[in-house]
Amino acid sequence: MSIPMNDIVTMPAFSPYYPMPPARYRGVSMHSVFFKASLDAVNRILPDCFEPSQDGLCSATGLTVPWSANYGQFQESYLTVKCSYKGKVGYFAPAAFLNSRSSIPAGREIYGTPKVYADIEVGMDERVMFTNTMIAGSSILGIRSTMNHSTDISDIPETKPSWRLKVIPRVDGKGVDVMQLIDGSKVTNDVSIKVCRKGDGIVEFAPSPIYDLSDFKPIEYFGSYYVEMDFTEGYGEIVHDFLK
């Protein structure tokens, strides 16, 4: 018997490249550094459906996933910028870097997260956590932070709504088949926080011929946060379909 068309959600149809959500994650360690960037830098990477926030608030995050039911283990880093959509304040991720094979197409095809492959190292050097993101042998994003003080998860600045712009091009070159504004802020559920700390951090961006974020050089820092947690990743929400 052939495969019913209604049962196909991704390819290969007979053996999908990645499982569909929900996905369980355990022992995830992540650190985020909040900083101010120039409005010119933010404007350069924002699709024009968004308006940049005048405070230039951004965050850079690095994380390591030692175990995930759907994708195994991997490391990731990403940039988030504060902006607004139709007057509503939220946050947009212009780029996410991973060293995973299966979670990259899953993130792009399901959630519209702009995931791209990079060599990433996440670790600890005494009391400093670090994330190194490398492309073509050179660093494009470095994150360093401490975790000297205890804090509560409610004290960490919320980056919600968490917007992505999901775009899939047409095969005939005549525009796009999909262009949707996605909110991923409700994707994470069944969260169990193991550790929550705060400290100081720095972010370094270096020039690159691709995915260049070097104009995001921090103007001012607003602290860093460290979290260890387990969680389940479910489905997101379509905020707006630009083709309808």
> Domain coordinates of the chain in residue numbers?
17-158+187-237
| Max Cα-Cα span within the chain | 62
pLDDT tens digits, 20-55: 999 999 999 999 999 999 999 999 999 999 999 999
Cα dihedral sign for 82, 73, 223, 35?
A: negative
The pLDDT score that the predictor gives to residue 129 is 98
What's the mean pLDDT when you consider all of the chain?
97
How would residue 199 be classed by pLDDT, with cut points 50, 70 and 90?
very high
Cα-based torsion angle of the residue sequence 45, 244, 182, 7 in order, rounded to the nearest 10 degrees = -130
Amino acid at residue number 201: G
The pLDDT score that the predictor gives to residue 148 is 96
| Distant-in-sequence, close-in-space partners of 81: CB < 8 Å, separation ≥ 6 | 37, 42, 45, 46, 52, 53, 57, 58, 91, 92, 93, 94
Query: 74-101 burial string, b = 16+ CB within 10 Å, else e?
Result: bbbbbbbbbbebeeeebbbbbbbbbbbe
Tell me how far apart the alpha carbons of residues 99 and 82 are, in angstroms, rounded to a whole number.
Answer: 26
The pLDDT score that the predictor gives to residue 72 is 96
HEC letters along the chain = CCCCHHHCCCCCCCCCCCCCCCEEEEEEEEEEEEEECCHHHHHHHCCCCCEECCCCEEEEEEEEECEECCCCCEEEEEEEEEEEECCEEEEEEEEEEECCCCHHHHHHHHHCCCEEECEEEEEEECCEEEEEEEECCEEEEEEEECCCEECCHHHCCCCCCEEEEEEEECCCCCCEEEEEEEECCCCEEEEEEEEEEEECEEEEECCCCCCCCHHHCCCEEEEEEEEEEEEEECCCEEEEECCC
Tell me how far apart the alpha carbons of residues 78 and 114 are, in angstroms, rounded to a whole number.
Answer: 9
pLDDT tens digits, 204-242: 999 999 999 999 999 999 999 999 999 999 999 999 999
Tell me how far apart the alpha carbons of residues 63 and 25 are, in angstroms, rounded to a whole number.
Answer: 12
Tell me how far apart the alpha carbons of residues 231 and 141 are, in angstroms, rounded to a whole number.
Answer: 26
φ, ψ (nearest 5 deg) of residue 10: -160, 175
pLDDT tens digits, 122-149: 999 999 999 999 999 999 999 999 999 9
For the domain made up of 17-158+187-237, give the CATH fold: Acetoacetate decarboxylase-like (2.40.400)
Residue 1 has pLDDT above 90, yes or no: no
Q: What is the mean pLDDT of residues 196-201?
A: 98
The pLDDT score that the predictor gives to residue 172 is 97
